[in-house]
């Protein structure tokens, strides 16, 4: 994998971070935004280790093993992103507004997606990067937006549950392919609707 490919994946992610951060009337400190993005990327490593049992479940065939595997993957990845966001940003004074929660969770999701894109780039080559840079990045942001809304409203548990369910549903629909793909994109669109609603609102974070 070339250094140019790595730089492209990272810059794509940071471009999205910059875009979402612009919605904040009281801009977040760039060093913290970058650190949160980096933490999201690093969280791919423990997530990959914890996801490994799911490969065996999916390989056994059948609906329930596959569904369990998809939900497990969703739960692990959303937990990894949530822990990274909490450790680097959500527990600090910088995340004092509702909009801040959405921005920091978007940053962590984009870091996660950037590293995931590099993994797929190594497997599928350069042509896959532009499409994945948009779709995968926005998908991860959309899942994390449910957690952001829950956190901002003082219902982090419910937000996490919705993030896991939408992540698993997206993976299931995408896995089926064909006519199910628009459904997967609809899941992403719903999460992005939550995100942009959260970015427009002002007020203190409840959690």
Q: Where are the domains of the chain?
A: 3-200
Residues 155-168 have a mean pLDDT of 96
| Alpha-carbon gap, residue 166 to 187, rounded angstroms | 7
Reported pTM: 0.90
Reported as a pLDDT band with limits 50, 70 and 90, residue 163 is very high
Structure confidence by residue, pLDDT tens digits, 30-57: 999 999 999 999 999 999 999 877 666 5
List all residues 6 or more positions away from 38 whose beta carbon is below 8 Å from its beta carbon.
111
């Amino acid at each position: 994998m070339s250094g140019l490919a790595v730089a492209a994946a990272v810059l794509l992610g940071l471009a999205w971070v910059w875009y979402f951060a612009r919605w904040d009337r009281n801009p977040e400190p760039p060093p913290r935004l970058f650190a949160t993005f980096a933490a999201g990327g690093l969280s791919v490593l423990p997530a990959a280790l914890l996801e490994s049992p799911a490969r065996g479940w999916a390989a056994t065939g059948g609906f329930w093993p596959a569904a369990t595997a998809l939900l497990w993957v969703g739960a692990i990845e959303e937990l990894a992103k949530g822990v990274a966001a909490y450790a680097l940003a959500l527990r600090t004074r910088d995340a004092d507004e509702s909009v801040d929660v959405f921005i920091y969770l978007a940053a962590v999701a984009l870091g996660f997606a950037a590293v995931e894109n590099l993994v797929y780039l190594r497997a599928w080559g350069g042509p896959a990067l532009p499409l994945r840079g948009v779709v995968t990045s926005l998908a991860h942001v959309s899942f994390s937006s449910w957690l952001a809304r829950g956190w901002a409203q003082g219902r982090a548990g419910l937000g996490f549950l919705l993030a896991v369910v939408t992540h698993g549903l997206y993976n299931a629909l995408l896995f089926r392919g064909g006519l199910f793909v628009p459904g997967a994109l609809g899941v992403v669109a719903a999460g992005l609707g939550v995100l942009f609603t959260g970015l427009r609102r002002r007020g203190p974070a409840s959690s």
